[in-house]
Amino acid sequence: MAQYYKLKKKIAAGAQFIVTQLGYDARKIHEAFLFLKQSGFNVPIVGNIYILPYGAARMMNNNELPGSVVTDKLLAEINQERNNPDKGVKARIMRAARMYAIMKGIGFNGVHIGGHNIKYEQVEEIIRQGEALAPQWTELIKYFDYQMENGFYYFEHDPKTGLNKETQLNRQSAKAAAKLEISYSISRFFHMLMFDPGKKLYGVMKTISRKIAGSILENIFHKLEHLTKVLIFDCKDCGDCALIDIAYLCPMSQCPKNQRNGPCGGSYQGWCEVYPFKIQCIYVRAYARLKKHGEEAQLDNGIVPPCNWDLNQTSSWINFYLGKDHASKRQGSS
Ligand code: SF4
């Protein structure tokens, strides 16, 4: 879901066209198209067709090329095709041509045809065959039934077409499955007390920040704040705090890419691209934390600006109350 929130941010930031992630599941290809249409975005969508040889398929299957999905079933088929006299070349050109036809039939505005060591003639052949197959594109969907086990789908499955209905899947089960994290509940409570205008501690903290800013006390205050935040959030003292943007997960210490508008395209089954099967993506955790409270749309709250490095190693609390950081500017306090 967070990937779709990010897609909206990209369009809001000025993306003039969308290229789909590399994949071979017709339902996901259709989903991206339908999501844009339902969201009312009028940006062209370009389908990603990668001519898939066995070596690349095996790497994608092993998650060695983050963000690209090749299921066990597809890998087994490509492995079988290697036994053909041409070592599977015709089969992979046909697979690409079928994708071309399906994308054209769904309504994509164009395709990007890629691969390693491919020849111009092969690209021409894909376009020629794709155009010839396009009128029967619905009959080709069966060749791209590569759904991921427990994979995320935005829309309900349409068994008649093999694609999606226009109704969104009910994700209440995700709410029930989300764990209630005590640290999140405590953070929520204190954030509301301290950083919501109108709450008691907000006024007190703002007055203190104004009085001590620039004095020797600021240093002591900063050290105390930092110690607290290291213990709770593993804070790296960036001074432009993004905890509120990611359900109280620090992007500076817990995301190797320090992403403030994540998730990146590399997370796999909810795991961080850099630490697969070891560390969960913070955006997956944030979604689950927010979902438990029915507030997951907070991740859809617009673009978070890059960290302001002028504030590095300064008190993020004082920066907030004095209106210097991005959170206060968004809230309109100064
Ligand atoms: S976002 Fe910055 S200030 Fe906030 S916890 Fe992380 S490092 Fe500390």
Last-in-domain residue among 118, 142, 169? 169
Q: Give distance in angstroms: CA of 293 to centre of ligand 1.
A: 23
pLDDT at 185: 87
pLDDT tens digits for range 12-49:
999 999 999 999 999 999 999 999 999 999 899 999 99
Q: Could you identify the atom of ligand 1 that is nearest to the CA of residue 236? A: 7
Ligand 1, atom 4, lies closest to the CA of: 241
- Mean pLDDT is lowest, of 93-97, 264-268, 279-283, 305-309, for 264-268
pLDDT tens digits for range 181-200:
788 888 999 998 999 988 88
> Are residues 35 and 161 located together in one domain of the fold?
yes
Owning domain of residue 222: 177-331
pLDDT at 170: 83
Identity at 189, one-letter amino acid code: F
Q: Could you tell me which residues come within 8 angstroms of residue 221 by beta carbon, excluding any fewer than 6 positions away? A: 208, 212, 315, 317, 318
pLDDT at 181: 74
> Are residues 290 and 306 located together in one domain of the fold?
yes
> Are residues 230 and 144 located together in one domain of the fold?
no
Signed CA dihedral, 15, 16, 19, 20: sign only: positive
Do residues 21 and 265 make contact, with C-beta atoms less than 8 angstroms apart? yes
CA 306 to CA 327: how far, in whole Å?
Answer: 12
User: How deeply is 19 buried, as exposed, middle or buried, from its count of CB atoms within 10 A (0-12, 13-18, 19+)?
Assistant: middle
Domain count of the fold of the chain: 2
Q: Give distance in angstroms: CA of 229 to centre of ligand 1.
A: 8
Can you tell me the mean pLDDT for 151-170? Answer: 94
Q: Could you identify the atom of ligand 1 that is nearest to the CA of residue 234? A: 5
**CA 36 centroid distance within chain:** 15
Which stretch, 61-70, 194-203, 204-213, has highest mean pLDDT? 204-213
pLDDT at 333: 46
pLDDT at 176: 57
Can you tell me the mean pLDDT for 51-75? Answer: 93
What is the rounded average pLDDT for all residues in the chain?
Answer: 93
Q: Three-state SS across 218-284?
A: HHHHHHHHHHHHHHHHCCCCCCCCCHHHHCCCCHHHHCCCCCCCCCCCCCECCECCCCCCCCECHHH
Q: Alpha helices of the chain — where are they, by DSSP H?
A: 2-12, 26-39, 54-61, 72-81, 89-106, 120-133, 172-177, 182-195, 200-212, 216-233, 251-254, 282-292, 316-321, 326-331
Which stretch, 36-40, 148-152, 292-296, has highest mean pLDDT? 36-40
Ligand 1, atom 6, lies closest to the CA of: 250
- 88 closest CA partner among 48, 127, 120, 54: 54
CA atoms within 13 A on the CB side of 142: 3
- 267 closest CA partner among 284, 253, 252, 254: 284
> Are residues 133 and 215 located together in one domain of the fold?
no
Q: Could you identify the atom of ligand 1 that is nearest to the CA of residue 241? A: 4
Last-in-domain residue among 143, 169, 195? 169
Signed CA dihedral, 154, 156, 157, 160: sign only: negative
What is the pTM assigned to this prediction?
A: 0.87
Which stretch, 59-63, 234-238, 285-289, has highest mean pLDDT? 234-238
> Are residues 283 and 234 located together in one domain of the fold?
yes
> Are residues 258 and 325 located together in one domain of the fold?
yes
Determine whether the shortest distance from the Cβ of 206 to ligand 1 is under 6 A.
Answer: no
Last-in-domain residue among 106, 139, 169? 169
User: Given pLDDT bands bounded at 50, 70 and 90, which one contains residue 175?
Assistant: low
Q: Give distance in angstroms: CA of 236 to centre of ligand 1.
A: 6
> Are residues 156 and 26 located together in one domain of the fold?
yes
> Are residues 163 and 190 located together in one domain of the fold?
no
> Are residues 114 and 244 located together in one domain of the fold?
no
pLDDT at 331: 80
Q: What CATH number is given to the structural domain containing 115?
A: 3.20.20.220
User: Given pLDDT bands bounded at 50, 70 and 90, which one contains residue 180?
Assistant: low
> Are residues 194 and 275 located together in one domain of the fold?
yes
